[in-house]
Amino acid sequence: MFEWSETDELIRDAVRGFIEKEVRPKVDGLESGELSPYPVIRKLFSEFGIDAMGAEAVGKLLAKQRARESGEAPAEKKEKSSSGGAPFSGQESLMAVLVGELSGVCMGLVTAMGVSIGLGATTILSRGTLAQKERWLEDIVTMKKVAAWAITEPDSGSDAFGGMKTYVKRDGDDYILNGQKTFITNGPYADTVIVYAKLEEGEADKRNRKVLTFVLDKGMEGFTQGKPFKKMGLHSSPTGELFFDNVRLGKDRLLGETEEHKGGDGRESARSSFTAERIGVAFMALGIINECHRLCVDYAKNRKLWGQEIGRFQLVQLKLAKMEIARINVQNMVFNAIERARAGKPPTLAEASAMKLYCSETATDVAMDAVQLFGGNGYMTEFRVEQLARDAKSLMIYAGSNEIQITHVAKGLLGN
């Protein structure tokens, strides 16, 4: 893949039309917190039939699983896929266009949507029983309900598993959950929450205890959702803390309903999610770069100093040229990821980490150059590049800080 297809371009035009009508006029309200992001996302899903597409895909997946479990259909060979057979697998270029276009205008919408479906729904799909998928999946993929994915804790950001203190204890056939999570996208308002917790048992080293994955619903006794944090960027994406005080969980809330999950413990589930999340960062970075590129080219043509357009000055031309190189490089990484997903050979965790590292740094550099190119205007909210710079910076921390990406890339090279 070396360019967007005609279908991709048609989708892009339609998405841009929606954004001009339904997103740009609401950006200030979304950024201030006056408006919730979820009605905008639901309207997007409705207008483009994404909710219907998701419901249909989930229906087919569940029907196949019912047939297999009842013996009416043979077991299928497991295919390699970046999405694990997720509801929107096979629609990678559609999602790349959608994510990119939204990211350039209001990236918080993308993180709210992406975490709910890309992490929440996909984890239930990959680890849940048929009953659990029937219980939660369709509502999440159609955005009728919002999901959160809770792994990060106050003392265990990059050391997500080793430093994890949230724990569960067995209590008869149930589990009792205690602990705290932080920096959880959708956390303040989520209807459904995927929670990772360590099983407290015996004398096993706390760092290496088994990690289990549970599904909680809003309003459960002992489960508290904190207020949204005030952040540097991504203002339209609610982020907050979650608190668990002796929350009683039946086995029906343990994904897979067994501690000995065939896919390994919760660590394996999370690593798979990390890969998809980091590839998604490349899609978002491309959206930031494209919008900065567009705004800066337009500004360079129209802003005049000393009787001529600033685009005639060599230092401005240098910034524009570097933006174009960044656009080409990041777009090629996105194209590569799409093609590999289609071929059933998705990037490894190390490769996804390399993509995330490069694309997030590049998007941040481009956005900061955009602010500088606009000068005093770039520091004003009306010209939007300051918002792009704040949002771009989050990509260097989001989905694992860039420092930890370096470690994952090196481990992939060294084979450990």
| 3-state per-residue secondary structure call for 278-334 | HHHHHHHHHHHHHHHHHHHHHHHHHCEECCEEHHHCHHHHHHHHHHHHHHHHHHHHH
pTM higher than the cut 0.85: yes
Q: Within its chain, how far is the Cα of 242 from the centroid?
A: 19
Q: Are 177 and 195 in contact (CB under 8 A)?
A: yes
Domain 267-414 indexed as CATH 3.20.20.150: no
Between these two residues, 414 and 206, which has the higher pLDDT value? 414
Q: Give catalytic residue positions.
A: 277
Q: Within its chain, how far is the Cα of 281 from the centroid?
A: 7
Is a pLDDT exceeding 70 seen at residue 267?
A: yes
* Helix, strand, coil distribution of the chain in percent, nearest 5: 55, 15, 30
Amino acid at 60: K
Element spanning 211, H or E: strand 211-217
Q: What is the SS3 assignment for 239?
A: strand
Q: H/E/C letters for each residue in 129-142? A: CHHHHHHHHHHHHC
Q: Rounded to the nearest 5 degrees, what angle is found at the Cα of 335, between the Cα atoms of 330 and 340?
A: 125
Q: Give me the percent of the chain exceeding a pLDDT of 70.
A: 95
Retrieve residue 388's tokens.
């792009």
Produce one character per residue of 325-341: b if its CB has 16 or more CB atoms within 10 Å, e if not.
Answer: ebbeebbebbbebbebb
If 0-12 CB within 10 Å is exposed, 13-18 middle and 19+ buried, where does residue 186 land? Answer: buried
Question: 6-73+87-146 — its CATH code?
Answer: 1.10.540.10
Q: Which pLDDT score, from 0 to 100, does residue 121 have?
A: 95
Produce one character per residue of 280-289: b if its CB has 16 or more CB atoms within 10 Å, e if not.
Answer: bbbbbbbbbb
Q: Give me the percent of the chain exceeding a pLDDT of 90.
A: 80
In degrees rounded to 5, what are phi and psi of residue 161? -90, -50
Question: 149-253 — its CATH code?
Answer: 2.40.110.10
Q: Are 277 and 119 in contact (CB under 8 A)?
A: yes
If 0-12 CB within 10 Å is exposed, 13-18 middle and 19+ buried, where does residue 8 land? Answer: middle
Which pLDDT band, with edges at 50, 70 and 90, does 100 fall under?
Answer: very high
Q: What is the C-alpha end-to-end distance of the chain, expressed in Å?
A: 32
56 contact partners, CB below 8 Å, separation of at least 6: none
Which pLDDT band, with edges at 50, 70 and 90, does 250 fall under?
Answer: very high
* Residues β-bridged to residue 213: 196
Q: Which pLDDT score, from 0 to 100, does residue 80 have?
A: 43
| pLDDT tens figures, 21-52 | 999 999 999 999 999 999 999 999 999 999 99
Mean pLDDT of 341-346: 90
Residue boundaries of the structural domains of the chain: 6-73+87-146, 149-253, 267-414
Q: Which pLDDT score, from 0 to 100, does residue 180 have?
A: 97
Rg (CA), the chain: 22
